[in-house]
Amino acid sequence: MAMAKAKKKERMTRVMRRDEEKGKDGEPEVIIGLEVHVQLTNLKTKLFCSCSTDYRGAEPNTHVCPICMGEPGTLPVVNEGAIEDAIMVALALGSSISRRTLFSRKNYFYPDMPKNFQISQYDKAGGVPFATGGSVSIGGGKKVRIRRIQIEEDPGRLVYEGTIDSSPYILVDYNRAGLPLIEIVTEPDMESPKEARMFLQNLRSILEHLGVFDESLQGAMRCDANISIKGGKRVEIKNISSFKDVERALSFEITRQKGLLSRGLRVGMETRHWDDLRRITVSLRVKEEEQDYRYFPEPDLVPITISEGLIAKVKACMPILPSERKRLFIDKYGIPPQTAEVLVGSKALADFFEECIKLKADPLPLANWLTGDLKALLNEMEIEIWESKVTPAHMAELVSLVKDGILSGKMAKEVLKEVVATGRMPRKIVEEKGLRAIASMESLKEIVERVFSENPEAVKDALRQEKAVHFLIGQVMKATKGSADPLMANEAVRRRLQEIASSVSA
Amino acid sequence: MPKERKLSRREFPDSKKEGDSRIGKEEVKHLAWLARMKLSNKEIDAFSQQLSQILQYFRKIDEVDTEGIEPTYHVLDLTNVFRKDEPRTFPAEEVLRNVPEKKGRYVKAPRMG
């Protein structure tokens, strides 16, 4: 099983590496752009009315009012919190904020919006997006440029009876309709599914640090992806509702499109839907083109001017951002830049790290445990750190058990697995299992003696050839059931051999 | 503050070409599809004619010289009308009374396609 997994991983890496390769003429093989929709989860009310945004788990259509239900004669009024959030996001991404901005009406007939239009923003037809430009770093010195940032309302949730295709009607829950969203549109700067995931991860971490977004809320970040492969046309993938699915959906699309192209078939311009259950993309019937949305400035809302004063006020309360935090981890705790980058890639992980430090954990080994073994275990289980049973107290204790020589690195890995699975404290597991690392040379010496007396031939050989030395080290490790530090076992065996050699020659 | 850009008709994606104010049958059909409406052939003919006339009538606006005039986005000379982020509950049952078809607490809508 582990073997198959490793192989699969290797294959995946190979595919990704290939995807990252440039064509002969320097043009990237794959070009990806994203449109990310983020719910401003720190806001208590919808974008244009005072309905509560706390809709998760609520009965359908309980968080609705005449405004978000599009009753005639009602008027929307902008939630000022959304403007402040958007300013914060724009500042954090280095975007330039429009001093005067407008809402636009996007017209379409679909039941997810009871008004038959969505109030959004637009960069044409007299529209002015909230902010333009800026970028997000995705590691390795690469940046993904931001095209624009807009504020808009979330549509309602559609429920189908049976499947999308066979459902005789659509059931709609408007609790989500009108929730404040920020739309972040990138330039087509990503060249692999992995880069797209990195972008989303780093964007998510920035938004989390700003406090405008809570990553633990299901469906709070969704995105559409545009992908074109050399030799094909641009394909849009809609309905990617989780952060992890972006990589899956894009990888699926690359395989599908490359398959078509290799068989001499055409990849035409189309919109596809990501089916997260079947983990495939499916073609959508003809949809409206952009010009069919008949955007025009929203007559029910007055324009918004953003003053320097307001920007300065928001700037003054900006919390620490991942990039600054990374610097802090490097400078204050001596964490290597790459490890620090992984830590701040998730606010939850960075917070977890600092919580452990408060419990006096040794920063460097701690950082390695968090970004190495723990992260790998969580990835394997496909859960996030806050969904796991591991707490800072667990990790701080584990790190100190290793530091005090009670656990060897190898034993600690096993204990960590148990911690992740059961949520029990490491010290408890150590006591129950009678684990104890053989950390002192004294206790190792006895074992070396025993191994040497049990294998006199091998000792003779070992005085002459290296291979037999390794055999003896192996026997010592086996006798300690892996609880000894391999380096220490190595040294103990060699030291004993030297003693024998010098006593023979003397 | 950066000066507002002047807009030309061409920047409105829906605007028709200069001098062409006819709405053909195909366009009426497309508009009907966007509005999810079924039109009979007779209606298509009638709307094609009427919409063309309406558009022709609005062409008069083009005669006004708007050079150097700021675009009007709103008839009121207001900006920044905001609301505090404080939740208020509305009796949802009241709103649901206006819903034509329901299934449980869900609003029932026709399939689109």
Higher pLDDT, residue A394 or B16: A394
Confidence band, pLDDT 50/70/90 cuts, at residue A441? low
Rg (CA), chain B: 22
Confidence band, pLDDT 50/70/90 cuts, at residue A437? low
Confidence band, pLDDT 50/70/90 cuts, at residue B5? very low
Are A303 and B7 within 8 A, CB to CB?
Answer: no
Tokens matching residue A264: 């001499």
Bridge-based pairing state of the strands A157-160 and A135-137: unpaired
B38 touches A at CB < 8 Å: no
Whether A13 has a pLDDT exceeding 60, the answer reads no
Q: What is the SS3 string spanning A60-71? A: CCCCCCCCCCCC
pTM of the shown model:
0.80
From the list A62, A285, A302, the residue facing B92 with the nearest CB is A62
CA distance B51 to B49: 6
Whether A188 has a pLDDT exceeding 80, the answer reads yes
Task: Report chain B residues whose CB lies below 8 A from the CB of A44.
Answer: 85-87
From the list B11, B76, B112, the residue facing A125 with the nearest CB is B11
CA distance A141 to A441: 46
DSSP B63: G
Identify any residues that bridge with A119 across adjacent strands, giving them in sequence order: A105
Residue of B nearest to A126 (CA): B7
Whether B21 is in a domain gets the answer yes
Confidence band, pLDDT 50/70/90 cuts, at residue B12? very low
From the list A51, A172, A301, the residue facing B106 with the nearest CB is A172
Percent with pLDDT over 90 in chain A: 56
Nearest to A269 by CA among A239, A237, A240: A237
DSSP A292: G
DSSP A374: I
CATH number at residue B23: 1.10.20.60
Chain A: give the shortest CA distance to residue B37, in Å: 10
Chain B: give the shortest CA distance to residue A73, in Å: 14
Whether B7 has a pLDDT exceeding 50, the answer reads no
Domains along chain A? 13-315 (no CATH), 320-433 (no CATH), 441-505 (1.10.10.410)
Instruction: Report, as an integer, the average pLDDT of B61-68.
Output: 87
What integer pLDDT is reported at residue A233 of this predicted model? 85
Whether B9 has a pLDDT exceeding 70, the answer reads no
Whether B77 is in a domain gets the answer no
Identify the residue among B38, B51, B81, B85 best suited for mutation to test binding to A, counting A beta carbons within 10 A and taking the highest. Answer: B85
Residue B20, CA distances (Å) to A292, A443, B69 in order: 19, 97, 25
From the list B7, B82, B87, the residue facing A80 with the nearest CB is B82
Rg (CA), chain A: 29
Higher pLDDT, residue A464 or A149: A149
**Contact map slice: A 131-190 vs B, CB within 8 A:** 159, 167-174
Whether B2 is in a domain gets the answer no
pLDDT tens-digit series, residues A98-128: 999 999 999 988 889 999 899 999 987 777 8
Whether A17 has a pLDDT exceeding 50, the answer reads no
What integer pLDDT is reported at residue A19 of this predicted model? 44
Look up the ipTM and state it. 0.78
> Number of Cβ pairs closer than 8 Å across A and B?
145
- For A467, what's the count of Cα atoms within 13 Å in the CB-facing half-sphere? 2
Whether B27 is in a domain gets the answer yes
Nearest to A83 by CA among A321, A301, A341, A387: A301
Whether B19 is in a domain gets the answer yes
Total number of domains in chain B: 1
CB A210 within 8 A of CB A43: no
What integer pLDDT is reported at residue A8 of this predicted model? 54
Whether A456 has a pLDDT exceeding 70, the answer reads yes
Pick from A85-99, A327-341, A395-409: least confident: A395-409
If phi > 0 it is left, if psi is from -120 to 50 it is alpha, else beta; for residue A301 that is beta
Whether B49 is in a domain gets the answer yes
What integer pLDDT is reported at residue B15 of this predicted model? 45
N residues, chain A:
506
Identify any residues that bridge with A45 across adjacent strands, giving them in sequence order: A52
B97 touches A at CB < 8 Å: no
Percent with pLDDT over 70 in chain A: 91
Q: Pinpoint the alpha helices (H) of A282-336.
A: 308-316, 322-333
Pick from A293-297, A338-342, A387-391, A404-408: least confident: A404-408
**Contact map slice: A 276-315 vs B, CB within 8 A:** 285, 288, 290-292, 294-297, 299, 301-305
What integer pLDDT is reported at residue A11 of this predicted model? 52
What integer pLDDT is reported at residue A411 of this predicted model? 82
Taking the alpha carbons at both ends of chain A, their separation in whole angstroms is 54
Average pLDDT, chain A: 87
Are A111 and B74 within 8 A, CB to CB?
Answer: no
Judged by DSSP in three states, A458 sits in helix
- Residue B25 domain boundaries: 11-64
Confidence band, pLDDT 50/70/90 cuts, at residue B3? very low
CB B46 within 8 A of CB A160: no
Whether A189 has a pLDDT exceeding 90, the answer reads yes
CA distance A100 to A76: 19
What integer pLDDT is reported at residue A428 of this predicted model? 87
Whether B22 is in a domain gets the answer yes
Across chain B, the runs of DSSP E, i.e. the strands, are 82-83, 102-103, 106-110
Whether A205 has a pLDDT exceeding 50, the answer reads yes
